[in-house]
Structure 1
Amino acid sequence: MSSEEPRQGWPTAPAYPPSGPAYGGGYGTPAPPAPARGASHRGAWIGAGATLVAAVIGVVGTYLVSSGKNANTVPPTAQGPAPSSQGSDDAPKDASPGQESAPGRESTPDQESTPGQDSSQSPESQATESATATAPAKPADTVVWQGALAITYTEDKDLDSAPPVESEIAEENDFSVYPFGTTHMLRPEGATKALVWKESTRTPTYEDCAGVVDTLGTSTDMKLKTGLVACARTNDGRLARLTVKELTGQGSDTSGVFDVVVWSR
């Protein structure tokens, strides 16, 4: 047998170079075709593009959600006062008390209230209260009351009233008169203090009485005679001067008539 003849059981060797498909791992089994290089690159690009699109969608979604939340937190636009239902629609409406005037409008003098005044009061009442609050205090030597005054045994007098009368409250009366034998007596009542002015050459002024009554005045009873002058400080602190003009009576009808001047305190 020739050595070049094919042996029994062995496959015939392929021609070289092979014209058919290449052999794989075993004899007679074709190798699987290699994947195309271009198809593999397209798949990678498609996957990267899908990932990028998903990321963009996530960012846009987050922005839209955040924008929606911020839009919900915007405070509502301030509204002006509701128009009044009274009067014509074209007539200007006055702002209610406590509301600010709309831009471009100015408050009239009648609408402005003076600080410290109650807007519910009438202009006349406000003017009276303002005048009272701003009125200057009277000078201390201003005469509150002056005139002839009778003080009797049965009727004391309150020099702090103008004109002086008997007060229903005994402690508010300043002087009383009573008989003592054949003498008329003057008694300072309550917190009243008095003293006899001993200079007969002149009548004491406000300054004269003020300079001695607080230091020398007492609540001691004093004998009266026509022409006697006394300085006094009343229960309410006013300065007074009493000059005896007439004395009458010896019992329950005892009376003294005085020329009285009462100054403001």
Structure 2
Amino acid sequence: MWQLTGSGWLASRHAQSDHGSTENGFCAKCHSPLQASASAAFNNGVVNAGPIPQQRFQAVTCATCHPPDNITAQIGALNPDAIDGGAIAIYLWKGVNNPASYQTLSTGVNADGTSTEDLLCLNCHEQRHNFAEGKGTPMYDMMVTTHNHLIPGGGPVRCIDCHMSTYQSIGGGTTGLPVLEERFHDWNVGADLPYSCGAIGSVSNCHNSSYSKFTVTDAQNLIPYIKEQHIDWWSLPPFNGVAQAAVPAHGALVEFKVLEREISKIDAM
């Protein structure tokens, strides 16, 4: 489990978020939240925040999304509708052991059809994939209209369903313990196949119905298309579409789009 969660995080961009220019109390709000200052600001191109010594820079650690165990119960009591009883929440830079420093999440659907749980990611990440693409595209339709059978009662596909896919579940049954999903923590869709795409052999089986047998090879064929999409999903360097950040689709972008749409049609039967 450590190799897929702890070591997975160690290899992720979350663990490598120090870019020199981020070593201050404002940029740290996303790049190293535990060192951030709640009062730090950015005005007229100037960062109003104290520096953070490089040796103290911690990156996006577990505590960014998971409050300490000693205050989880308090957070849950303050927010009865919080998912996981307050064990997952957004840190707001007011002290790690302060229950008021956490914004909890709840299940539900936003007015635009997206999942309310995605706020955990959108607190730092600027855009949704579906908004960048526009209405009527496969990615948009998936995130606002596809009902996720992994969520009791259904619901839209969430960021974590692909970027933090489940590789196993523990507990439940005769154990007397609640079911706990073990998720990848490298946020790498390509590396986490077949789980991340719900291909044959995954836990979710999103693309493995009686009508569709979406294999790992099929998913691998879509990776260049996915990488090409990501060029336009970030508005800040180095992910702002500049030449050195582009990942070419090897001349097969159109074919991958057609394949993805055909798979979507089959899964909708």
Pair in the same fold by TM > 0.5: no
Q: TM-score range by the shorter chain?
A: under 0.3
Q: Which has the higher contact order (CA 8 A, sep 6+)?
A: 1
The answer to which structure has the higher helix fraction is 2
Which has the larger share of strand?
Answer: 1
Query: Which protein shows a greater Rg?
Result: 1
- The alignment's TM-score, normalised by the length of structure 1, stands at 0.21
Q: TM-score, normalised by structure 2?
A: 0.21
